[in-house]
C-alpha cells in the first residue's frame, strides 16, 4: 500500500510523510464519518488507467475536497486529462481504455458492476478544453441536459437560473433563440458551464477550460469558478500555473516516469505547493525549471 | 545565359529579375493542358444538352400536344402520355426511398456511432460490395426472388411484373449510397460535440439522434437527394422487373406493371438500332431524356439550397 503511490524513478524520495497523511485520511473516512472535515466527495485508490497496452497513469490515490477547487497540474502528457476523465467515466468512450483501482464518489465505487456511467456523468459534469456548444440555440444548449435527463418543470426558469449562475444571463437574455455558436469564445465557454450546471451535478470537471480564451475571458471564468465552488466541487486541469495559484485551494502535481506513465508527486494546499513544495520535482516544475 | 541571369552580381546595379523564360513558357503550356482537360466535360455536357433539346423540339413538332395526354404511354401507336411514365417513376422512387431511408440511415448511425472499429472494418466493405452489384443482376433478383418470395407473399393480387418489386430492388440498390454519404456526414461531426452530450448524461441513442444527426443534417439531406436522383435515374431494374414492355396504361397501382421514364426509354431502344413504329417514337426518347435531366438538375439545385440554408443556420 505504501509503495503503490511511490513512483519508481527519480521521485523515489517523495516524502513518505505525505503518503502517511493520505493513508490516515483514507482510514478516517472509510471508518466513521470524520468529525472535523466534511467527507471528500471523490476518493481515488490506486487508480491506474490504460489505453490498450499503454499505461497512462499509475497508482494514483487522492481525495478531492468538497466545495473547493482542486487544480491538477503537471507537464504535457503526464495524464492529467486521463485522471480527470476517469472521474466521470469519459474514458469509457475510448475503445481499449480500462482502469484498475477504485474511484469512490460519496463512498460509492464508480466502476462498480451496478453503476451506470450515464448516471455518473449526470452527477459529475464536465467542461472541455475547447468551448463546444451544440449547433443549437442558446436556450436549447442549456435545456439539452435537463431534457435528456427527463427533468420536468419550468424549463424557462431553469435555463435562466443556469445562465445567471454562469454569469452569462445579462449578455444573452435578449437572444436566447440565437445559435450558441455565434457567441464569443469566452461566452461560449460560460454557456458550456451553464449547460453543465443545468443538470445539477455536484462535481464539475474542467479540462483546461481557458486554454482557448483570451486573458480577460480567462479571468471571468476564474471568477465564476470561485463563485461556483460555494455549491459545487470543482476539479480543474490547467497548464497555467498562475491560474492554479489564483483560483484553487488544493493542487495536485503529476509528472511522468520513464515508461511515460503519469504518477502523482504530491498534493496539498495550493499555497504550500507553490511556496514550499515537499518534493524537488514539484519545486522544479512550479518554479519553471522543468516542464 | 540562363545561369548568368540567375546570379546577381553586386556591381551590375539593378538585379536581373527576368527569371527563366523557358519555365514561364512551360507553365503557360501546362496551364493550357489543364484548362482543356477541365473544358472537355463542359463541352460534352453542353453537347448532350443541346442534342437533347434539339431532338425534344423535333418530337414536339412531330406530334399534336394532345398526344401528351392520353390513356397511357404507347409510343409506337402515337400515345405519349407523360403522366404515365412520370407516375411510374414517382411510385418506384417512393417505394425505394421508403425502404432505403430507414435502412440506409440506420446503417449510417450504427456504423458511425455504435460499431467498434473492428465491426466497421468488416461491415463497410460488405456495404461497398452491395453498391457494386450491377443493376441488371438486381433486376433479375427482383424478378426471381423479391417478387415471388416477398411481394406476392404479402399482396396476393400482385402481378408477375410490378412496380413494387422494382421499387424494392431500387431501394436495395440505393441503401449503400445513402448509408455511406450520411455516415461520412455523421463522422465529420466533431468528437467534442459527442463528448459534450455524453458529459451531460446523455445516452448513445440520445447523442446519436439529438446531437450528431441534427449536426450532420445537411449531409444527410444531400444523401437522401442523391438517393432520389439515383432512384429516378435507375433503368435496368425497372426495365426488367416492372413490366410494361413497349408501353403501359396510366396506373396508380404499385402491384401491377408500369413504366418509368427510364424504362420507357430502355424499351424503346431495345431490339434494334432503329426504333420502329410511329415517326415520333424515336425522338420521344430524347424528350424523356430531357425530362429526366431537368428533374435531376432540379433536385440537385433544391438539395444545394437546402444544404446552404442549414449551414447558415449553424
CATH number at A274 reads 3.40.50.300
Q: Would B13 be classed as within a structural domain?
A: no
- B30 with B165, same domain: the answer is no
Q: Would B14 be classed as within a structural domain?
A: no
- B57 with B156, same domain: the answer is no
Name the more confident of B1 and A78. A78
- B42 with B186, same domain: the answer is no
A233, A202 Cβ separation under 8 angstroms: yes
The three-point CA angle B61-B65-B66 to 5° equals: 145
Q: Would A148 be classed as within a structural domain?
A: yes
Q: Would B242 be classed as within a structural domain?
A: yes
| pTM, 2 dp | 0.80
Q: Would A5 be classed as within a structural domain?
A: no
B108, B186 Cβ separation under 8 angstroms: yes
Q: List CB contacts of A196: < 8 A, sequence separation 6 or more.
A: A125, A126, A127, A145, A204, B199, B200
- Confidence check: pLDDT of B86 > 80: yes
- B58 with B72, same domain: the answer is no
Instruction: Dump pLDDT digits (tens) for A20-79.
Output: 333 334 334 444 444 456 788 999 999 999 999 999 999 999 999 999 999 999 998 899
Mean pLDDT, rounded, for B195-222: 93
Instruction: Sort strands A69-73 and A250-256 into parallel, antiparallel or unpaired.
Output: parallel
Mean pLDDT, rounded, for A199-215: 91
Helix (H) or strand (E) holding A72: strand A69-73
Give the confidence band of A104 by pLDDT, cuts at 50, 70, 90: very high
Burial B258-290, CB ≥16 within 10 A → b, else e: bbbbbbbbbbbeeeeeebeebebbbbbbbbbbb
Q: Would A279 be classed as within a structural domain?
A: yes
Check which CATH number belongs to the domain holding B197 and give it.
1.10.3720.10
| Parent domain of B207 | 67-313
Instruction: Dump pLDDT digits (tens) for A185-194.
Output: 999 999 999 9
- B142 with B82, same domain: the answer is yes
Strand intervals (E) in A199-284 = 203-207, 233-237, 250-256, 262-269
- B38 with B160, same domain: the answer is no
- Confidence check: pLDDT of A13 > 80: no
Give the confidence band of A117 by pLDDT, cuts at 50, 70, 90: very high
- B40 with B123, same domain: the answer is no
**Contacting residues of B for A125, CB less than 8 Å apart:** 199-200
The three-point CA angle B287-B292-B294 to 5° equals: 95
Average pLDDT, chain B: 87
CA distance B311 to chain A (A): 10
Nearest to B196 among A118, A134, A149 (CB): A134
Coil vs helix vs strand at B246: coil
CA distance A231 to chain B (A): 18
Mean pLDDT, rounded, for A167-190: 93
- Confidence check: pLDDT of A161 > 80: yes
Is the CB of A51 inside 8 Å of chain B's CB atoms? Answer: no
Report pLDDT for A36.
56
Q: What's the domain count of chain B?
A: 2
Q: Would A126 be classed as within a structural domain?
A: yes
- B34 with B108, same domain: the answer is no
Please say whether the dihedral angle defined by the alpha carbons of residues B289, B290, B291 and B296, taken in this order, is positive or negative.
positive
CA distance B268 to B163: 19
Crossing angle, helix B191-199 and helix A185-198, to 10 degrees?
A: 30
CA-nearest residue to A189 within chain B is B196
**Contacting residues of A for B211, CB less than 8 Å apart:** 134
- B258 with B211, same domain: the answer is yes
- Confidence check: pLDDT of B5 > 60: no
A109, A232 Cβ separation under 8 angstroms: no
Q: Provide long-range contacts, Cβ within 8 A and 24+ apart, for A266-270.
A: A266/A14, A266/A15, A266/A18, A267/A18, A267/A22, A267/A62, A268/A18, A270/A71, A270/A244, A270/A245
Helix (H) or strand (E) holding B105: helix B82-109
Nearest to B202 among A123, A132, A148 (CB): A148
| Parent domain of A254 | 16-29+38-286
Q: Would B83 be classed as within a structural domain?
A: yes
Please say whether the dihedral angle defined by the alpha carbons of residues A201, A202, A205 and A210, taken in this order, is positive or negative.
positive
Mean pLDDT, rounded, for B12-32: 86
How many Cβ atoms are within 10 Å of B81's Cβ, its own excluded?
21
**Contacting residues of B for A128, CB less than 8 Å apart:** 192, 195-196, 199
CA-nearest residue to A135 within chain B is B314
Q: What's the domain count of chain A?
A: 1
Is the CB of B311 inside 8 Å of chain A's CB atoms? Answer: no
A236, A83 Cβ separation under 8 angstroms: no
Mean pLDDT, rounded, for B274-288: 75
Report pLDDT for B278.
56
Say what percent of chain A tops pLDDT 70: 87
Q: Enter the C-alpha cell of residue A57.
A: 497513469
- B90 with B152, same domain: the answer is yes
Mean pLDDT, rounded, for A213-242: 91
CA-nearest residue to A205 within chain B is B199
- B165 with B43, same domain: the answer is no
Amino acid at each position: 500500500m505504501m509503495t503503490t503511490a511511490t513512483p519508481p524513478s527519480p521521485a523515489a524520495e517523495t516524502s513518505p510523510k505525505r503518503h502517511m497523511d493520505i493513508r490516515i485520511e483514507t482510514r478516517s473516512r472509510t471508518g466513521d464519518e470524520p468529525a472535523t472535515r466534511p467527507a471528500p466527495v471523490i476518493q481515488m485508490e490506486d487508480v491506474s488507467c490504460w489505453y490498450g497496452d499503454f499505461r497512462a497513469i499509475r497508482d494514483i490515490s487522492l481525495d478531492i475536497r468538497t466545495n473547493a477547487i482542486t487544480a491538477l497540474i503537471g507537464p504535457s502528457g503526464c495524464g492529467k486529462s486521463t485522471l480527470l476523465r476517469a472521474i466521470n467515466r469519459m474514458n469509457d468512450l475510448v475503445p481499449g481504455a480500462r482502469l484498475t483501482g477504485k474511484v469512490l464518489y460519496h463512498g460509492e465505487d464508480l466502476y462498480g458492476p451496478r453503476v451506470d456511467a450515464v448516471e455518473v456523468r449526470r452527477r459529475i459534469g464536465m467542461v472541455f478544453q475547447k468551448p463546444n456548444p451544440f449547433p443549437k440555440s442558446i436556450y436549447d444548449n442549456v435545456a439539452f441536459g435537463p431534457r435528456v435527463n427527463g427533468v420536468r418543470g419550468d424549463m424557462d426558469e431553469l435555463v435562466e437560473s443556469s445562465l445567471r449562475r454562469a454569469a452569462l444571463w445579462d449578455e444573452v437574455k435578449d437572444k436566447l433563440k440565437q445559435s450558441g455558436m455565434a457567441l464569443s469564445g469566452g461566452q461560449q465557454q460560460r454557456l458550456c458551464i451553464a449547460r453543465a450546471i443545468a443538470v445539477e451535478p455536484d462535481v464539475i470537471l474542467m479540462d483546461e477550460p481557458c486554454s482557448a480564451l483570451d486573458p480577460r475571458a480567462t479571468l471571468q471564468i476564474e471568477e465564476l469558478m470561485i463563485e461556483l465552488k460555494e455549491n459545487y466541487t470543482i476539479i480543474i486541469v490547467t497548464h497555467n500555473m498562475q491560474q492554479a495559484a489564483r483560483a484553487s485551494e488544493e493542487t495536485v502535481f503529476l509528472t511522468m516516469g520513464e515508461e511515460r506513465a503519469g504518477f502523482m508527486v504530491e498534493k496539498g494546499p495550493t499555497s504550500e505547493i507553490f511556496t514550499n513544495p515537499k518534493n524537488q520535482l514539484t519545486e522544479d516544475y512550479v518554479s519553471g525549471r522543468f516542464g | 545565359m540562363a545561369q548568368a541571369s540567375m546570379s546577381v552580381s553586386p556591381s551590375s546595379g539593378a538585379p536581373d529579375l527576368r527569371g527563366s523564360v523557358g519555365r514561364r513558357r512551360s507553365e503557360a503550356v501546362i496551364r493550357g493542358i489543364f484548362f482543356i482537360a477541365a473544358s472537355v466535360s463542359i463541352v460534352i455536357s453542353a453537347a448532350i444538352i443541346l442534342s437533347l433539346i434539339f431532338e425534344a423540339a423535333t418530337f414536339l413538332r412531330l406530334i399534336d400536344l394532345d398526344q401528351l395526354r392520353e390513356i397511357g404511354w404507347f409510343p409506337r401507336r402515337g400515345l405519349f402520355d407523360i403522366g404515365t411514365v412520370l407516375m411510374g417513376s414517382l411510385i418506384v422512387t417512393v417505394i425505394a426511398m421508403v425502404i432505403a431511408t430507414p435502412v440506409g440511415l440506420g446503417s449510417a448511425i450504427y456504423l458511425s456511432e455504435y460499431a467498434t472499429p473492428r465491426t466497421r472494418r468488416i461491415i463497410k466493405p460488405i456495404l461497398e460490395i452491395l453498391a457494386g452489384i450491377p443493376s441488371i443482376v438486381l433486376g433479375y433478383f427482383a424478378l426471381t426472388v423479391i417478387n415471388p418470395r416477398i411481394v406476392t407473399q404479402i399482396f396476393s393480387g400482385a402481378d408477375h411484373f410490378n412496380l413494387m418489386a422494382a421499387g424494392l430492388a431500387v431501394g436495395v440498390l440505393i441503401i449503400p449510397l445513402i448509408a455511406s454519404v450520411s455516415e461520412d456526414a455523421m463522422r465529420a461531426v466533431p468528437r467534442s460535440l459527442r463528448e459534450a452530450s455524453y458529459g451531460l448524461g446523455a445516452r448513445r441513442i440520445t447523442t446519436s439522434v439529438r446531437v450528431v444527426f441534427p449536426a450532420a443534417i445537411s449531409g444527410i439531406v444531400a444523401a437522401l437527394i442523391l438517393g432520389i436522383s439515383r432512384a429516378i435515374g435507375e433503368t435496368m431494374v425497372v426495365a426488367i422487373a416492372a413490366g410494361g414492355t413497349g408501353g403501359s396504361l396510366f396506373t396508380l397501382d404499385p402491384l401491377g406493371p408500369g413504366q418509368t421514364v427510364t424504362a420507357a426509354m430502355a424499351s424503346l431502344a431495345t431490339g434494334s438500332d432503329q426504333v420502329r413504329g410511329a415517326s415520333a417514337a424515336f425522338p420521344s426518347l430524347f424528350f424523356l431524356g430531357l425530362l429526366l435531366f431537368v428533374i435531376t438538375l432540379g433536385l440537385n439545385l433544391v438539395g444545394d439550397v437546402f444544404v446552404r440554408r442549414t449551414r447558415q443556420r449553424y
